[in-house]
């Protein structure tokens, strides 16, 4: 039996990352120079779905590495309510696999007209979004046919990191990027472990996904993919926010899947998860922290660590869908490109 496209495309991620790092070097330097010249006071992201979850990781990246505040723009403010935001001097980053959603394109076009520095992270380089933005950072993922995005999401996590490393002078981040393709290759070797972990959840109806810090956008993406490919009602929370009310759900026996960072959020995440286990939580973990249920390869930097974690989850999610007798490439009611206004 041929493996689903979701697995086939996830396995391409080491090559996608190598290609992106090599082929985007010139535009990354040019964009870094433009940002350095502009000195933006803040940044704004525009995206939906998996791309918006990648923007959550980018928000943490820009805020922790550059001290640059980041807000998520609601596309409908412009497209439905007709408001044109004053984004003069802002850095505006749009992320899209297809570059075809009219609301994202129209907001980037309006932002550029208002005087923002606009950047598109997009997989389809001749798309409307690529034409609307001043700078384009291609994801270099090649054609993605599976409805469930995998390699394009992973490429969205990495496309802006060379620019951030240039602006911050973070040598550790550069080393993490250099180490990333090999770390992703090593992650693919964990597929049998991911399959075993998935088997534990084959009858789950609901699931809580937790983490702290840089991995939060990965947790958001995980919750989406569980809904999309397995029909599981999953919700993502910061482990800090979970204690402010949602923790009540543990009394109903909901299982918890957590992402375990090895960066500055590691101790706080571990403390929160230990407390949940003390309260009887059914908890399993994915991430670079030592002792995780599915321990992913560390890259030497918290930002690049998110990528093997997400890849390991994709292997888990695809096998969970198969274990439930489903096809992750054929989620009901969904299509590859969603166009909203």
Q: Over 90: is that where the pLDDT of 166 sits? A: yes
267 contacts: CB under 8 Å, gap ≥ 6: none
Kind of pairing, strands 256-259 and 283-287?
parallel
Alpha carbon distances (Å) from 301 to 65, 177, 203: 12, 9, 35
Residue-level pLDDT at 280: 87
| Separation of alpha carbons 75 and 94, rounded Å | 11
* Spatial CA neighbour of 56 closest among 236, 206, 316, 187: 236
Q: Which burial class, exposed, middle or buried, applies to 131 when counting CB atoms under 10 A from its CB (0-12, 13-18, 19+)?
A: middle
Question: pLDDT tens digit string along 92-132?
Answer: 999 999 998 899 999 999 999 999 999 999 999 999 999 99
Max CA distance (Å), the chain? 54
> Rounded to the nearest 10 degrees, how much is the dihedral formed by the CA atoms of 312, 318, 321, 323?
-80
Residues 230-266: pLDDT tens digits?
999 999 999 988 877 777 777 677 899 999 999 999 9
Tell me what pLDDT residue 251 has.
65
What confidence category does residue 334 fall into, taking pLDDT thresholds of 50, 70 and 90? low
Q: Residue 217: is its pLDDT beyond 70?
A: yes
Q: How far apart are CA 22 and CA 89, in angstroms?
A: 30
Kindly name the residue from 151, 225, 227, 336 that is annotated as catalytic.
336
| CA neighbor of 215 nearest in space, from 145, 318, 285 | 285
pLDDT at res. 338: 59
Rounded Cα distance, 211 and 230, in Å? 21
Read off the pLDDT of each residue in 272-292 and give the average, rounded to a whole number: 93
Taking a C-beta distance cutoff of 8 angstroms, is the pair 63, 160 a contact? no
Q: Mean pLDDT, to the nearest integer, of 307-327? A: 97
C-alpha distance from residue 245 to each of 216, 251, 281 (Å): 18, 12, 15
| pLDDT tens-digit readout, 24-40 | 999 999 999 999 999 99
336: annotated active-site residue: yes
> What does the pLDDT read at residue 341?
59
């Amino acid at each position: 039996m041929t493996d689903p496209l979701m697995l086939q495309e996830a396995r391409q991620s080491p090559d996608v990352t190598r290609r992106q790092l090599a082929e985007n070097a010139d535009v990354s330097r040019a964009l870094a120079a433009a940002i350095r010249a502009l000195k933006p006071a803040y940044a704004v992201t525009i995206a939906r779905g998996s791309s918006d979850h990648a923007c959550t990781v980018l928000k943490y990246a820009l805020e922790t590495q550059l001290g640059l505040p980041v807000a998520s723009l609601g596309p409908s403010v412009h497209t439905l309510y007709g408001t044109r935001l004053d984004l003069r001097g802002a850095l505006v980053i749009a992320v899209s696999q297809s570059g075809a959603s009219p609301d994202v394109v129209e907001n980037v076009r309006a932002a550029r007209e208002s005087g923002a520095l606009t950047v598109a992270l997009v997989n389809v380089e001749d798309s409307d979004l690529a034409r609307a933005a001043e700078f384009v950072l291609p994801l270099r993922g090649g054609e993605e046919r599976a409805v469930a995005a995998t390699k394009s999401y992973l490429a969205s996590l990495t496309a802006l990191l060379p620019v951030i490393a240039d602006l911050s002078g973070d040598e550790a981040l550069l080393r993490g990027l250099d180490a990333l393709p090999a770390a992703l290759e090593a992650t693919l070797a964990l597929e049998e472990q991911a399959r075993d972990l998935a088997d534990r959840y084959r009858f789950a109806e609901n699931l809580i996904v937790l983490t702290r810090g840089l991995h939060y956008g990965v947790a958001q993406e995980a919750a989406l993919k569980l809904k999309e490919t397995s029909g599981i009602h999953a919700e993502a929370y910061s482990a800090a926010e979970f204690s402010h009310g949602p923790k009540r759900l543990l009394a109903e026996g909901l299982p918890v899947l957590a992402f375990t960072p090895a960066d500055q959020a590691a101790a706080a995440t571990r403390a929160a998860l230990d407390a949940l286990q003390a309260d009887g939580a059914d908890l399993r973990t994915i991430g670079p922290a030592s002792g995780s249920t599915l321990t992913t390869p560390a890259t030497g930097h918290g930002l690049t660590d998110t990528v093997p974690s997400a890849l390991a989850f994709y292997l888990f999610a695809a096998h969970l869908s198969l274990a439930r007798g489903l096809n992750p490439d054929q989620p009901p009611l969904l299509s590859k490109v969603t166009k909203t206004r």
